[in-house]
Amino acid sequence: MADYDYDLFTIGAGSGGVRASRMAASHGAKVAVAEEYRVGGTCVIRGCVPKKLFVYASHVHEEIEDAAGFGWTVEGARFDWKTLIANKDQEIDRLNGIYIRNLAGSGVEIIEDRAIIKDKHTIHLVNQNRDVTAKYILIATGATPNVHEVPGHEHAITSNEAFHLEELPKRIVVAGGGYISVEFAGIFNGLGVETTLLYRGEEILRGFDDDLRTTLHTEMEKKGVRIITGKVFDRIDKSGDELHATLSDGSVLETDAIMFAIGRNPNSQGLGLETVGVEVLPNGAIAVDAYSKTSIDNIYAVGDVTNRANLTPVAIREGAAFAETVFNNNPVAVDHSIIPTAVFSSPEIGTVGISEAEARKAFGRVDIYKSTFRAMKHTLSGRDEKTMMKIIVHPQTDRVLGVHMIGPASGEIIQAVGIAVQMGATKAQFDATVAVHPTAAEELVTMKTPEPQPDAIAAD
């Protein structure tokens, strides 16, 4: 393939771009990847990984409180934000190094630069001011936090900055009702920050099963998070060290920090897409087919920039499928229909398959099995926290359509349950599985009686 400098040029060394590049190289392709920030991408550098480390930090507070019920006295416990940040940075540096070594070890050339597509086989490297050519181009540039551009929005931060705050604020308002907002509200609250969550809709986590949404809302409030719904910011004013946020109903929140977590926009701007004619959807996402091919036949795109399911494991799958399709002559399309996922809120959520509302819309009557209970640990800790598990079953086929849970380790549990749901397991097969005792997860194989149907409740 002497006609081009590279067989594959990947733009963006995040989860999707790195996996695609390494796999393409393993199939014998000559590959380069351009990255303008840090190798590893959002998930490793300023997303899932540091977030989960923060979540662990935020749980310690409750573990110390819970210790008393088990006979422990913990004295003099105090939290130091700077230590957490330094240790987190050290771990992120380590992972960044591993990513760089893995790419290099796979024979992928890393180019630290911003890349712009000049024509369908030419990429311009901005800082180095030179052009390179490639047979295939993969766009894996991810997404960037959205900001509600009200007057004074420049005083607010996003998750990008939250990972590097010099000081932990005393008070914070987190705007949004999605993954990042509920996760960071839990983190800040657990670390002792007076936390308010501001959401424009009626109930947080739109799109999730309603029982998860209401249970999380209740449990977050019990832990001390103030949740305001049905309002947005009208303006933000800075007064000394304080921020005054005027809401849409005219009320004012006084706070020390404001964080926007109101969704992320695909990074499709400034890449030269219009020059080559790559189709971009109105929401900024690059349009792709089932094999991640764009409207230009040698240009592909994977991960958040395509706005399909914006999750790291999905981007990795899409990257791998692309490499398999293009460089191993084995067309693979990623199945986006059943994706287990966790929200690392406090308490944690694990979910796979469709919600009760979606199931009723699709099938009319469905069987719902639900269990709400206090986890065994809290019989001694005294903590008033509820765990909720729910299974949605197709009444004719008995197939499990969805499993939704909130409570400790839900993310860990849902990974295993996801296998069963992915395989098309029936409720009878769940029931035939022997319980692991004593665990919370055993509820998933011991729920015997479905909830009364809504029409039956109405008829009562």
8 counts as binding ligand NDP under rule CB under 6 A: no
- Which position among 61, 124, 217, 437 bears the catalytic label? 437
Distance CA 312, CA 14 (A): 9
308 counts as binding ligand NDP under rule CB under 6 A: no
Exactly one of 261, 299, 334, 354 binds ligand NDP (CB under 6 A); that residue is 261
Least Å distance between CB 240 and ligand NDP? 26
Least Å distance between CB 51 and ligand NDP? 7
Closest to ligand NDP by CB, 10 vs 310, is 310
262 counts as binding ligand NDP under rule CB under 6 A: yes
Closest to ligand NDP by CB, 26 vs 144, is 144
* Nearest CA among 269, 263, 300 for reference residue 284: 269
- Does a cis peptide bond (omega within 30 degrees of 0) precede residue 347? yes
In 141-191, which ranges are continuous DSSP H helix? 159-162, 179-190
179 counts as binding ligand NDP under rule CB under 6 A: yes
Helix orientation angle between 210-222 and 356-363, rounded to the nearest 10 degrees? 170
52 counts as binding ligand NDP under rule CB under 6 A: no
Contact 412, 344 (CB under 8 A): no
Strand partners of residue 266: 143
Give the binding-site size for ligand NDP (rule: CB under 6 A).
Answer: 24
Q: Where are the beta strands (DSSP E) in 115-272?
A: 115-119, 122-125, 130-139, 143-145, 171-175, 194-199, 226-229, 233-239, 242-247, 252-255, 257-260, 264-266
Q: Catalytic residue at 155? A: no
43 counts as binding ligand NDP under rule CB under 6 A: no
Exactly one of 180, 359, 400, 425 binds ligand NDP (CB under 6 A); that residue is 180
Closest to ligand NDP by CB, 136 vs 179, is 179
16 counts as binding ligand NDP under rule CB under 6 A: no
Least Å distance between CB 200 and ligand NDP? 4
217 counts as binding ligand NDP under rule CB under 6 A: no
* Number of neighbours of residue 321 by Cβ within 10 angstroms: 23
In 32-178, which ranges are continuous DSSP H helix? 41-46, 48-67, 81-105, 159-162
Contact 146, 260 (CB under 8 A): yes
Exactly one of 12, 142, 177, 407 binds ligand NDP (CB under 6 A); that residue is 177
The residue type at 459: A
311 counts as binding ligand NDP under rule CB under 6 A: yes
Strand partners of residue 430: none
213 counts as binding ligand NDP under rule CB under 6 A: no
Contact characters 193-212, ligand NDP, x per CB under 6 A: ------xxx----x------
Q: Which residue has the tokens 């395989």?
A: 423
Closest to ligand NDP by CB, 215 vs 307, is 307
* Nearest CA among 321, 349, 344, 345 for reference residue 333: 321
Active site members = 437
- List residues binding ligand NDP (CB under 6 A): 148, 175-181, 183, 199-201, 206, 232, 261-264, 310-311, 341-344
